[in-house]
């Protein structure tokens, strides 16, 4: 153990587009919206997570859209979240060993953005693990099932990873998730029917649509349900094509092994039955939905930190 190791905290981060989650000492210490407010005149951050300021003078910034899309804002969010949750009584500045779980489809350029941001908030060691591996670890299937498919249905992306012999060997991603789907429906209802819905109303509409047949009444206006299904089907046609391609890239014998175990669903979007059911035309493949889809990633990071040697080959520096 190094002389100054007592000054080094290990923290794990799931930098989601909707939620930022941070763990330290096996505890989830931050689980709030990945957003901050910025005062346009004073040019300072005025709040983050659940405590942003919503006055006219403030703009709300969401620095993650699948991966980091605003480098400085992300750093400010990370710095603020770490400061808010990890108080230090030491007279010495704290340094961090930091584990990021990043989308499996992250490019090398995007990886550099994570590494740089981590270093700017005081990380002296940065490790990255693909989110699909984290979720599989969090779900206890990585070594237990070996061959399977995992779909992370998030706010900004829907990503499918095929695992063979516990290795992620093929990935398909559409960088659009619940956020775009909700906007598609909102825009359609606004433009055609002058109906204005918020996200919560869209979510309850999606659960009603599962059982309603031809027509649905929204704000006293009758809407044909097939129109909304058509919108969703068009969107999921592209998603399904991407996923079939990812499966076609895998050797025939191997993909059969993965198919026989089936598909595991994680990520917040997988809790919405109607949307999840539109993924993959082939419903003969067994489908399992995670019991804890919002926290599988960060739970996986937790295990990677506590059992470093076991998961060493999945971490990247």
Ligand X SMILES: Nc1ncnc2c1ncn2[C@@H]1O[C@H](COP(=O)(O)OP(=O)(O)OP(=O)(O)O)[C@@H](O)[C@H]1O
- Whole-number minimum distance, CB 131 to Mg ion, in Å? 6
80 binds ligand X (CB under 6 A): no
State the burial class of residue 222 (Cβ atoms within 10 Å of its Cβ: 0-12, 13-18, 19+).
exposed
33 binds ligand X (CB under 6 A): no
Residues 6+ apart with CB under 8 A from 276: 153, 265, 269, 270, 287, 289
Taking each helix axis as running N to C, give the angle between helix 71-85 and helix 108-120, from 0 to 180 degrees, rounded to the nearest 10: 40
- Whole-number minimum distance, CB 180 to ligand X, in Å? 10
Which residues here bind Mg ion, judged by CB under 5 A? 16, 154
- Whole-number minimum distance, CB 178 to ligand X, in Å? 4
Residues 6+ apart with CB under 8 A from 24: 9, 10, 11, 12, 85, 86
Binds ligand X (CB under 6 A): choice among 294, 301, 304, 305: 294
17 binds ligand X (CB under 6 A): yes
- Whole-number minimum distance, CB 78 to ligand X, in Å? 15
63 binds ligand X (CB under 6 A): no
Shortest CA distance to 72 belongs to which of 108, 45, 105?
45
Q: Which does 17 bind (CB under 5 to 8 A by kind): ligand X, Mg ion, none?
A: ligand X
Q: Which does 145 bind (CB under 5 to 8 A by kind): Mg ion, ligand X, none?
A: none
Shortest CA distance to 103 belongs to which of 54, 156, 143?
156
Q: Which does 141 bind (CB under 5 to 8 A by kind): Mg ion, ligand X, none?
A: none
Chain positions contacting ligand X, by CB under 6 A: 16-19, 66, 154-157, 177-178, 267-269, 271, 294
């Amino acid at each position: 153990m190094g002389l100054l190791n007592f000054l080094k905290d290990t923290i794990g981060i799931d930098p989601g587009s909707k939620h930022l989650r941070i763990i330290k000492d096996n505890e989830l210490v931050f689980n709030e919206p990945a957003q901050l407010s910025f005062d346009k005149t004073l040019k300072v951050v005025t709040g983050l997570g659940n405590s942003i300021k919503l006055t006219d003078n403030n703009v709300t910034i969401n620095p993650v859209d699948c991966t980091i899309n605003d480098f400085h804002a992300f750093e400010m969010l990370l710095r603020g979240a770490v400061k808010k949750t990890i108080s230090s009584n030491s007279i010495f500045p704290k340094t961090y060993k930091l584990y990021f779980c990043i989308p499996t489809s992250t490019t090398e350029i995007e990886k550099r953005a994570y590494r740089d941001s981590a270093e700017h908030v005081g990380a002296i060691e940065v490790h990255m693990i693909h989110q699909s591996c984290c979720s599989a670890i969090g779900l206890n299937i990585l070594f237990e099932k070996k061959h399977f498919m995992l779909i992370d249905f998030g706010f900004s992306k829907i990503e499918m990873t095929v695992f063979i012999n516990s290795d992620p060997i093929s990935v398909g991603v559409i960088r659009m998730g619940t956020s775009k789907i909700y906007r598609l429906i909102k825009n359609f209802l606004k433009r055609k029917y002058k109906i204005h819905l918020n996200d919560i109303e869209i979510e309850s509409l999606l659960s009603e649509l599962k059982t309603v047949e031809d027509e649905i009444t929204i704000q006293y206006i009758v809407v044909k349900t097939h129109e909304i299904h058509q919108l969703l089907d068009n969107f999921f046609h592209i998603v399904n094509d991407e996923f079939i391609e990812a499966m076609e890239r895998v050797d025939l014998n191997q993909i059969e092994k993965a198919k026989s175990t089936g598909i595991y669903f994680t990520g917040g979007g997988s809790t919405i039955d109607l949307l999840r059911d539109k993924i993959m035309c082939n419903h003969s493949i067994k489908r399992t939905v995670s019991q804890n889809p919002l926290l599988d990633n960060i739970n996986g990071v937790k295990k990677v930190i506590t059992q470093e040697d076991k998961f060493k080959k999945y971490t990247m520096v």
